[in-house]
Chains A and B, each alone.
Chain A
Amino acid sequence: MSLEEQEVDKIAHLARLAIEEKDVPEYANNLSNILDLVEQLSTTDTTGIEPMSHPLELSQRLREDVVTEVDQREQLQENAPKVERGLFIVPQVIE
């Protein structure tokens, strides 16, 4: 399984990762090697095998639908790069 450089660009876009153009060939090479490793799975017969998503086969626990969190907006926003009047600020999205 070998990934073309355009495919690396596409995956990087899907993952919202800026990759420098000069690094793309190395990513293509490394990612292809990892996919080669993973390719072994396709030779295994898994007919009739249920996928396993939880090691202990437990389902998600539910709780009462009540408020458990206290308001900590100011404290939590101390880590934000840019905040104004309690809002997270990003570049303009709508003209």
Chain B
Amino acid sequence: MHNKSVAGLSAGLEKGDFSSEEITQAYLDRIAALDADLNCFVTVTSEQALAAARLADQQRHEGKAGPLTGIPIAQKDIFCTQGVKTSCGSKMLDNFIAPYNATVVENLNNAGMVMLGKTNMDEFAMGSSNETSFYGAVSNPWDLQAVPGGSSGGSAAAVAAQLAPVATGTDTGGSIRQPAALCGITGLKPTYGRVSRYGMIAFASSLDQAGPMAGSAQDAAMVLNAMAGFDPRDSTCIDKEVPDYTKNLNDSIQGMKIGLPAEFFADGLDEGVAKVVQEALREYEKMGAELVDISLPNSGLSVPTYYVVAPAECSSNLSRFDGVRFGYRCHEPVDLEDLYKRSRGEGFGAEVKRRIMIGTYALSAGYYDAYYLKAQKVRRLISDDFRRAYEKVDVIMGPTAPSVAFDKGEKSDDPVTMYLSDIYTIAVNLAGLPGMSIPAGFVDNRPVGLQIIGNYFEEARLLNVAHQFQLGTQWHKQVPPGYE
């Protein structure tokens, strides 16, 4: 049962081949048997899951089932889940039981989906390897020595190892697409504002966006249908109709123009990864798409721009963790300042503290113009590059990450080297565009992701382009040995 797609499970449930309770139990059994090696889950909610599954079966019996009713899902531990620990991968929130549901969780619950548990992640979504989690690193099911990518590493590894048919992720600088690439699954970061951020613990509010992580574009489309939509509780959420993302999956891509930014194929890209991406592009040519050379001249400034904007916003967002109202409090504080400083110093890990300090510095008196304002200006230049590109092409393609999954410990001592793992994904967040990663092949038995970037609100086109590739190739169907 665990090797079925969301679409396959949906069809099987509809026909009565199995019940949601049976599927849910099968996934819970796999988690119990296999997650000790992988560490994908921070919390497994077995009892609630089985109760939700029985309710879903009841709804189906009453003729009230939708396409996702009774299908299990894993939620990244960044989404508030009422009555369930919501840790964000941090000691700071190790004792935090969310008092309400994030809108994404609420939407998926309303669609009848069954939450299996909460997935491991880099602390406060700050990391590209899942090694900054308070709950320990996650292993990549393709090679347990390798990282799964981050920050949505637990979700990516869980879907790749078939411990869940689908999962949620969030992407601030590549945190859905990069782990999707490194684990060989399909991940979609929607347009900024497409999915509500309410109840999704904030890292960098002008960049954060939630999306599905799945086994295929079709599955991602089905789940995005339930995730997306206007939410008055998120003031940056866009009031725009949600199309049926499964409707255009089968459209022909004959004559579609695919832009290839020279900057995404320059120095720094692993040769093996480049070769796999080129082969994927040839598949698209065979399907009748036209490859067009383009340039995003300012994209090289994405990483430095991001490492001003994101830390600045994080230093502000994370000021709420003060040891007073919720979260970790240090023992026996001598005064209020000691309470603040030690609660935060002991509750946050090193990477989170680094980013808070960079942001605090960039926003401090005398430096604001030189750092934050400057970065926001460069952000516009980066965004304008894309605007010009979309006058000539329909989608943009390139590698998701410069290399395949690296080994644990390989980059964790050097923050700047780690930051460069997101060199091709960050510009997309700065511009607020939708982006996907789909499996395109392997180098040394580790998966390679092809990144597809669309114009604003063109998620349906991205999913169509991805689905067409997946109709003609088998890369998305590969399963890591030992997890078949």
List of 6 A-B pairs having minimum Cβ-Cβ separation, nearest first: A55-B432, A18-B345, A51-B376, A81-B329, A79-B326, A46-B377
Determine whether A50 belongs to the interface, using a CB cutoff of 8 Å to chain B. Answer: yes
Contact B307 A34 (CB under 8 A): yes
CB of B304 within 8 Å of the partner chain: yes
Q: Looking across the interface, which residue of chain A has its beta carbon closest to that of B322?
A: A16
Q: Is A22 interfacial (CB 8 A cutoff)?
A: no
A15 to B99: give the CA distance in the assembly, Å: 27
A85 to B: closest C-beta gap in Å: 16
Contact of A80 among B193, B235, B238, B325 (CB under 8 A): B325
Contact A79 B97 (CB under 8 A): yes
Could you show 9 A-B contacts with beta carbons less than 8 Å apart? A18-B341, A27-B357, A34-B354, A37-B419, A38-B307, A41-B375, A54-B236, A55-B206, A81-B328
Contacting pair A52 B360 (CB below 8 A): no
In angstroms, Cα B361 to Cα A35, docked, is: 10
- Chain B nearest CB from A7 CB (Å) reads 8
* Known A41-B374, A51-B376, A91-B336: A14·B364 in contact at CB below 8 Å: yes
A8 to B328, CA, bound (A): 24
Which residues does chain A contribute within 8 Å of B235, judged by CB atoms?
60-61
User: A79 contacts which chain B residues (CB < 8 A)?
Assistant: 95-97, 99, 325-327
Given contacts A82-B329, A90-B336, A93-B336, contact A34 B341 (CB under 8 A): no
Interface segment out of the listed B38-46, B286-294, B379-387, B443-451? B379-387
Residues of B with C-beta under 8 A to A44 = 298, 301, 378, 381
Provided the pairs A51-B376, A79-B325 are in contact, do residues A35 and B358 lie with their beta carbons within 8 angstroms?
A: yes
Q: Does chain A have a CB within 8 A of B33?
A: no
On chain B, the residues within 8 Å of A82 by CB distance are 329
Any chain A CB within 8 A of the CB of B88? no
User: B: which residues have CB within 8 A of A?
Assistant: 95-97, 99, 191-193, 206, 232, 235-236, 238, 298, 301, 303-305, 307-308, 315, 319, 322-329, 333-342, 344-346, 348, 350, 353-354, 356-358, 360-362, 364, 370-371, 373-381, 383, 414-416, 419, 430-433, 456
A54 CB, nearest partner CB in chain B, Å? 6
In chain A, positions 40-95 with a C-beta closer than 8 Å to chain B are: 40-42, 44, 46, 49-56, 58, 60-61, 63, 72, 75-76, 78-82, 88, 90-93
- Quick check: is A33 within 8 A (CB to CB) of the other chain? yes
Give Cα distance in the complex from A82 to B303, angstroms. 41
Contacts of B95 in A (CB 8 A): 79
Are A42 and B456 neighbours in the complex by a CB distance under 8 Å? no
Docked Cα-Cα span, A16 to B346, in Å, equals 11
Bound-state CA distance A32–B427 (Å) is 23
Nearest A residue to B333 by beta-carbon distance? Answer: A91
Give A83 to B364 CA distance when docked, in angstroms: 33
Q: Nearest residue in B to A77 (C-beta to C-beta)? A: B325
Is the beta-carbon distance between A27 and B364 smaller than 8 angstroms?
no
Give Cα distance in the complex from A75 to B97, angstroms: 10
Given the complex, which residues of B lie within 8 Å of A8, measured CB to CB? 357
Q: CB distance A17 to B374 under 8 Å?
A: no
Query: Which residues of A1-34 are within 8 A (CB) of B?
Result: 8, 11-20, 23, 27, 30-31, 33-34
Which residue of the partner chain B has the closest CB to A82? B329
